[in-house]
């Protein structure tokens, strides 16, 4: 797919960037090369290929599902400015 200078100017306007005429010439060639490469990728047969999240087959490390920092309510509530009955208190916001 060939990209012309008008297309590059339109993309620059949408991206809100200012480019000179020399930059338009360079970007025209670069964008055309990128789009040609993408067209080549489109020709690759991927039917029956499962999607993958990584190029290396690996399983994430698992840990035991256990409580590790529980039973410290009193220590946590001790940081509150005005604790009441083991809970945080906040100002009333609804009248």
Q: What is the mean pLDDT of the chain?
A: 87
The tens digit of pLDDT for each residue in 68-92 reads: 777 788 888 888 888 888 889 988 8
63-72: list long-range contacts, CB under 8 Å, 24+ apart.
none
Q: What is the mean pLDDT of residues 41-55?
A: 86
| Unique residue bearing structure tokens 């670069």 | 30
Q: Please, which pLDDT band fits residue 50 given cuts at 50, 70 and 90?
A: confident
What pLDDT score does 36 carry? 92
21-56 burial, b at 16+ Cβ within 10 Å, e below that, comes to: eeebeebbeebbeeeeeeeeeeeeeeeeeeeeeeee
What pLDDT score does 8 carry? 92
Q: Please, which pLDDT band fits residue 19 given cuts at 50, 70 and 90?
A: very high
Task: Indicate the domain borders of the chain.
Answer: 5-42
Q: Please, which pLDDT band fits residue 49 given cuts at 50, 70 and 90?
A: confident
Q: Provide the CATH topology of domain 5-42.
A: Histone, subunit A (1.10.20)
What percent of the chain is predicted at pLDDT more than 70?
A: 99
Among 22, 3, 24, 2, smallest CA distance to 12 is for 24
């Amino acid at each position: 797919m060939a990209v012309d200078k008008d297309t590059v100017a339109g993309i620059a306007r949408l991206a809100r960037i200012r480019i000179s005429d020399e930059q338009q010439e360079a970007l025209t060639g670069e964008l055309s090369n990128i789009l040609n490469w993408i067209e080549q990728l489109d020709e690759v047969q991927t039917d029956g290929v499962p999607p993958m999240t990584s190029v290396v087959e690996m399983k994430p490390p698992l840990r035991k599902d256990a409580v590790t920092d529980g039973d410290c309510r009193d220590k946590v509530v001790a940081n509150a400015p005005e604790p009441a009955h083991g809970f945080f208190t906040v100002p009333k916001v609804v009248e």
